[in-house]
């Protein structure tokens, strides 16, 4: 759902669909001119709720949440299997972020302290660090441009999540009030050129996303990524120590490209 459709993956994903809206395959058989000529058709209620959710997150200067993730992995035999992960995210706008990811494909940690992005791969005991711009938006864009990499659920870290999410929508529908993890939510469904996606937004004073399902319809087997978002805390007081890299003794330092290449090789 990002404005770019590169085949990025979370480090050590080994080809799994674990990046939010970042594994879209190229569109086929349609010109850019045809796409521009066809205006998006989005239910006004779906548009308004997505915009409200984006504004709510944008106004939250510090927050944290947990994501229980399930994603499909396509085996060489063509069989589709499901793998899982848990991701914890902490954000302090405009220049701090921390992500801890642990799942079937390994454990990873990412720190952004306003000057550097640091990655640690616990499975291989290697880490990498690189300079980054001094705002979260620019740092995420920088990572994508320089290393073809962004962490899962990165779209919610941007200063304006609504603009990031809506930009490729061709169709959008409001499906009603449905449950997501025991929480009453507005259920929205969107069609992009390369993916179909659904989002559940909490019904109430806390307009946070509670669930995401993304279908990569142009990839073989139409694999899915699903995340159930919980433990939202928008009253966090996050100290600098949260965003300071903590690398174990004995871990080997590599450059970003090497860490990513070694991980994908596994």
The string of pLDDT tens digits covering residues 52-64 is 999 999 999 999 9
Domain count along the chain = 1
The answer to whether position 15 is within a domain reads no
The answer to whether position 29 is within a domain reads no
The string of pLDDT tens digits covering residues 167-186 is 999 999 999 999 999 999 99
The answer to whether position 206 is within a domain reads yes
Range of the domain at 93: 40-265
Provide the sign of the torsion angle of the four alpha carbons 213, 107, 64, 230, taken in this order.
positive
Where is pLDDT greater, at 8 or 187? 187
- pTM, whole model, 2 decimals? 0.83
Provide the sign of the torsion angle of the four alpha carbons 165, 170, 175, 179, taken in this order.
negative
Task: Give the angle 119-262-250 at the CA atoms, nearest 5°.
Answer: 55
The answer to whether position 224 is within a domain reads yes
The answer to whether position 3 is within a domain reads no
The answer to whether position 83 is within a domain reads yes
50: domain CATH number is: 2.50.20.10
The answer to whether position 143 is within a domain reads yes
The answer to whether position 129 is within a domain reads yes
CB atoms within 10 A of CB 170: 14
H/E run at residue 45? helix 44-59
Query: What gap in Å lies between CA 199 and CA 103, rounded to an integer?
Result: 22
């Amino acid at each position: 759902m990002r404005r770019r459709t590169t085949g990025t993956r979370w480090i050590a994903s080994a080809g799994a669909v674990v990046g939010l809206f970042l594994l879209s395959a190229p569109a086929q058989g349609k010109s850019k001119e045809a796409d521009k000529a066809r205006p998006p058709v989005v239910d006004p209620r779906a548009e308004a709720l997505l915009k409200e959710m984006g504004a709510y997150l944008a106004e939250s200067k510090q927050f944290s949440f947990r994501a229980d993730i399930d994603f499909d992995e396509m085996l060489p035999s063509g069989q589709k299997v499901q793998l899982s992960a848990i991701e914890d995210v902490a954000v302090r706008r405009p220049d701090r972020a921390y992500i801890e990811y642990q799942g079937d494909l390994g454990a990873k940690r990412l720190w952004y302290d306003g000057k550097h992005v640091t990655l640690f791969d616990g499975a291989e005991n290697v880490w990498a660090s690189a300079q980054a711009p001094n705002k979260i938006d620019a740092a995420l864009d920088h990572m994508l441009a320089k290393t073809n990499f962004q962490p899962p659920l990165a779209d919610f870290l941007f200063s304006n999540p609504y603009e990031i999410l809506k930009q490729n929508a061709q169709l959008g529908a409001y499906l009603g009030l449905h449950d997501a993890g025991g929480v009453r939510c507005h259920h929205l469904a969107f069609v992009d050129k390369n993916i179909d996606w659904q989002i559940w937004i909490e019904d109430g004073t806390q307009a946070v996303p509670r669930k995401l399902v993304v279908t990569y319809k142009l990839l073989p087997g139409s694999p899915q990524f699903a995340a159930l978002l919980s433990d939202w805390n928008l009253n966090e007081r996050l100290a600098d120590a949260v965003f300071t890299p903590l690398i174990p003794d004995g871990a080997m330092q590599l450059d970003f490209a090497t860490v990513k290449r070694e991980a994908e090789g596994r």
